[in-house]
Amino acid sequence: MTRLSDIGEDALISRLIRLVPLDPAPAAGPGDDCAVIDPGSAHPALLLLKTDALVEHVHFLPDAPARAVGWKSCARVVSDFAAMGGHPAHFLVTLALPPQTPVAWAEDLYRGIADCLQRFGGTLAGGETSSVPPSSAALISIAATGSVLRHHLTLRSTAKPGHALLVTGTLGGSRLAKHLSFIPRMKETDWLVSHFKPTAMMDLSDGLARDLLRLASASGCGFVLDRDYLPVTEGCTVAEALGDGEDFEILLAMEEDRVAGLLAAWGQEFPELALTRIGCLVEAGTGEILEGGWEHFTKDLAK
* Domains of the chain in sequence order: 4-152 (3.30.1330.10), 164-283 (3.90.650.10)
Angle between helices 186-195 and 66-83 (to 10 degrees): 10
For all residues of the chain together, what is the average pLDDT?
A: 92
Question: Which residues are CB-neighbours of 256 under 8 A, at least 6 positions away?
Answer: 162, 163, 164, 280
- For residue range 9-38, list pLDDT tens digits in order: 778 877 887 787 767 666 666 667 899 999
The pTM (predicted TM-score) of the whole model is: 0.91
- For residue range 66-105, list pLDDT tens digits in order: 999 999 999 999 999 999 999 999 999 999 999 999 999 9
Mean pLDDT of the 287-298 span: 75
Task: Give the separation between CA 186 and CA 189, rounded to whole angstroms.
Answer: 5
- For residue range 148-203, list pLDDT tens digits in order: 999 999 999 999 999 999 999 999 998 787 899 999 999 999 999 999 999 999 99
pLDDT at 296: 65
In the chain, % of residues over pLDDT 90: 80
